[in-house]
Amino acid sequence: MLEALSQRLGAIFARLGNRGRLTEADVNEVAREVRIALLEADVNLAVAKDFVARVKERAVGADVLASLTPAQSVIKIVHDELVTLMGGAVARLQFSDAPPSVIMLVGLQGSGKTTQAAKLALRLKEQGRRSLMIAADVQRPAAIAQLQTLGKQIDVPVYAEQTGDPVGIAQRGLSEARRLGLSTVIVDTAGRLQIDDELMVELERIKERTSPKEILFVADAMTGQEATRVAKGFHDRVGITGVILTKMDGDARGGAALSIHHVTGAPIKFVGVGERVSALEPFHPDRIASRILGMGDVLTLIEKTQSVYTEQQARDLEQKLRRNEFTLDDFLGQLRQVRKMGSMAELVKMIPGLSRALPNVEIDERDVQRIEAIICSMTRRERRYPQILNASRRRRVASGSGTQVSDVNRLVKQFEASRHMMKQLGGGKRPRLPFLGR
Amino acid sequence: MSWFGKLRDALGGSRQSLAEIETLATARRPLDRAFWNELEEVLIAADFGVSTAEKILDGLQAAARRNLWTRSDQVIGRFKRDVESFLTMPESTLRLEARPAVLLIVGVNGTGKTTTIGKLAQDFRTQQKSVMLVAADTFRAAAADQLAVWAQRSGSEFLRGREGSDPSAVVYDGIAAAKARGIDVVLIDTAGRLQTKTNLMEELKKMRRVIERESGAPPAETLLVVDGTTGQNAISQAMLFNEATALTGIVVTKLDSTAKGGVLVGIADTLNVPVKLIGIGEGIEDLRPFEARAFVDALFEPETAA
């Protein structure tokens, strides 16, 4: 997700990184590029303008840290602002003290409400909460049947009436949940336009009758400039408490995430990353901000690795990453492990720097083989200390692996850059600001 | 209300007064920096995307210099004519000559494929054509049930496979049945899929091959259904679906929202595939032929407060 935005900013910062000082003209150039990057990612124009203004203000303002180079300062500011823009920390679901706690899903047609209802129910079930799903969509043909089928799949009961008033259905469903002593109720409402007054009144009435603790706005990650107006439309009428961003498993740049939070103030609580009922993940603003900045997503990488390695192995890896002992050998091991998992493209994106070395979303298997060949053509010592790779060694590696010296150079450079990031990341307890330390 | 009026309302939201319409377009403003910025913002806010907007602005600025224009209405007039002719492509109506005419409907999840098929079926039925709906979405829960409702409403024949079965097998059965029963139009509903999922795109290619083999010709139409509120990702959708299935047309839905669908221009700049239909409401009559002129005019409708 969002890798195109990270490429764009990555290119700017790579250029800035080579300069010692940042002039006002530089700041303006960065501002311009950041604006374009955000707009290309479908961030709303007004939101992008506001964001750029804040970054500029802070960049020329007083809080440029003495310990950082100007380029690092700008990166830090952009990163901070991105995290803020996407809601700060991970936001959890809230439950009311008196069960059943009601969660209401709202949004445009086709954003994925019914699917997310089942995903949420499954997630809650895994946390030991028993839910009832209420099918309050009597508009779309077979919406009820869809929820019932999903309910059967995950073994969660569904309350439905074939016709009638959604307000009454929601109310009767809630009584049913009380009768059954269930802890959570998920109300699946029909998709509607925020400008459809009649249907928005219906939502207001469902809210009034069921007093939901959470009203989650389900939004398509591919939404364009319209995202702010739609989100605001729903927020003004029913007051959304959170957002689920769906279809994030595609190549959508996901600028909608930034826009929606900006206009509603509601945190993005989950992202939908696939069609299976298990494909729902918590939204981590700081991780995604890091990814946008081309810093890779070390935390997710470590989590994913755990499913392949034992926990001990994963801790070792994390230690290595943090202590800057991550060698090309470890990298090669990773690469091979990852290939076994078969989701190369996904994981490469998480390795800092590598996504820029291999920018195409669909990783060409030959590129991977080339990297493997290059590393395999190095001596043990070279893999451990790539800095000893002088020109003659590089020529040897290139001819040994059937590649060009420039390929070797690129790999080493990227690897060094990643290690450098890791080193700075090792300073703090929590890598809130990877790259910058402290 | 006229169809154009309805589109204008739909694309522009509820407009306040006639006087406000096309202020940017009709006002005779000097061609200063503020004007160009405003025009850029209009385009970006309409989802043209930065690169398409820049391309258009570069062209307009060059034309302004060449022709020694001094006023904004000259620029806007040119813009409208250019975009209109750019979006007006030959073959923008549905081709239904083949018998059966097979229409393959594709797109990402939640764009309105099934609903579009339902509306098309009703339209064809009022033209006295015999129609068969084939539910080749065997993945999503109750997708076939949803299509079945439309088949019943429109009085179309209906064929479905088991949930989880191979969609190509359903397509095969559908075409065999349509041939046997002398059906005029076969509408094939496919599961929504993100364009980056290679295996699902391969599945689409296979369906297309089956159609070609069983009916003796490629689908009469392969239509990509795009959600009108989609931003720049729609270009990626159009490109990758076109690679997999050789699109013959695009359907843009949900244009009754306040979205303007400017990404259409970027799509047309990338692919030579015409927009054939647009959806501007829930009713059957709200699935309409695309008209470039109305689209361009609607771009300059005043924004409504959300």
This model of the complex carries an ipTM of: 0.89
Nearest to B146 among A39, A141, A226 (CB): A141
Q: Do A110 and B110 touch (CB under 8 A)?
A: yes
pLDDT of residue A112: 95
Order across the sheet with B185-190: list the strands: B157-160, B131-136, B185-190, B101-106, B221-227, B249-253, B275-279, B287-289
Q: Are A226 and B258 in contact (CB under 8 A)?
A: yes
Nearest to B259 among A224, A233, A275 (CB): A224
Percent of chain A with pLDDT over 70: 70
| Residue B226 scores a pLDDT above 50 | yes
Q: Which two tokens stand for residue A22?
A: 């940042």
Q: Do A222 and B233 touch (CB under 8 A)?
A: yes
B159, B162, B168, B174: CA torsion to nearest 10: -10
B 3-22 residues with CB below 8 A of A?
13-14
Q: Do A142 and B44 touch (CB under 8 A)?
A: no
Question: Higher model confidence: residue B57 or residue B16?
Answer: B57
| CATH number for the domain running over A302-436 | 1.10.260.30
Amino acid, res. B183: I
CA–CA separation, A271 vs A269, rounded Å? 7
- Chain B residue numbers touching A141 (CB-CB < 8 A): 118, 145-146, 149-150
The CATH architecture assigned to A3-85 reads: Up-down Bundle (1.20)
Nearest to A249 among B13, B140, B194 (CB): B194
- Chain B residue numbers touching A116 (CB-CB < 8 A): none
What average pLDDT is seen over chain B?
A: 87
| Residue A94 scores a pLDDT above 50 | yes
Nearest to A229 among B49, B109, B306 (CB): B306
The arithmetic mean of pLDDT across residues A230-253, rounded, is 91
On the 0-12 / 13-18 / 19+ scale of CB atoms within 10 A, A432 is middle
The arithmetic mean of pLDDT across residues A367-383, rounded, is 86
Residue A429's contacts (CB-CB under 8 Å, 6 or more residues apart) are none
Q: Are A278 and A304 in contact (CB under 8 A)?
A: no
| Residue A360 scores a pLDDT above 80 | no
pLDDT of residue A432: 30
Please provide residue A278's backbone torsions phi and psi, each rounded to the nearest 5 degrees.
Answer: -95, -5
Q: How far is CA B244 from CA A285, B202, B224, B271, in A?
A: 34, 7, 11, 13
Boundaries of every domain in chain A: 3-85, 101-292, 302-436
Least confident of A416-420, B46-50, B166-170, B254-258: A416-420
Q: How many CA atoms lie within 13 A of A303 on its CB side?
A: 7
Nearest CA in chain B to A43: B231
Q: Do A220 and B198 touch (CB under 8 A)?
A: no
Q: Which two tokens stand for residue B38?
A: 């405003």
Identify the band that residue A62 occupies on the pLDDT scale cut at 50, 70 and 90: very low
Q: What is the pLDDT of residues A66-87, one digit of tens each?
A: 545 555 666 677 777 888 777 7
Q: Do B50 and A40 touch (CB under 8 A)?
A: yes
Q: Which two tokens stand for residue A185?
A: 């109720």
Nearest CA in chain B to A233: B306
- Determine contact: B231 vs chain A, CB below 8 A: yes
Nearest CA in chain A to B196: A250
Nearest to B232 among A42, A153, A193 (CB): A42
Question: Higher model confidence: residue A201 or residue B257?
Answer: A201
Q: Which two tokens stand for residue B82?
A: 């250019």
B 159-218 residues with CB below 8 A of A?
163, 194-198
Identify the band that residue A317 occupies on the pLDDT scale cut at 50, 70 and 90: low
Nearest to A45 among B45, B257, B258 (CB): B45
Question: Higher model confidence: residue B79 or residue A84?
Answer: B79
Q: Do B44 and A225 touch (CB under 8 A)?
A: yes
Q: What is the pLDDT of residues A103-155, one digit of tens each?
A: 999 999 999 999 999 999 999 999 999 999 999 999 898 999 999 999 999 99
Cα distance from A237 to chain B (closest Cα, Å)? 11
- Chain B residue numbers touching A229 (CB-CB < 8 A): 258, 306
- Determine contact: B264 vs chain A, CB below 8 A: no
Interface A-B: count of C-beta contacts within 8 A: 142
Percent of chain A with pLDDT over 90: 40
The CATH architecture assigned to A101-292 reads: 3-Layer(aba) Sandwich (3.40)
Q: Do A149 and B141 touch (CB under 8 A)?
A: yes
Please provide residue A299's backbone torsions phi and psi, each rounded to the nearest 5 degrees.
Answer: -60, -45
CA–CA separation, B140 vs A78, rounded Å? 40
- Determine contact: B249 vs chain A, CB below 8 A: no
Nearest CA in chain B to A362: B196
CA–CA separation, A132 vs A171, rounded Å? 13
Q: Do B229 and A223 touch (CB under 8 A)?
A: yes
Nearest CA in chain B to A110: B110
- Chain B residue numbers touching A140 (CB-CB < 8 A): 146
Q: Do B142 and A148 touch (CB under 8 A)?
A: yes
Q: Do A142 and B256 touch (CB under 8 A)?
A: no
pLDDT of residue B299: 79
Q: Are B144 and B138 in contact (CB under 8 A)?
A: yes
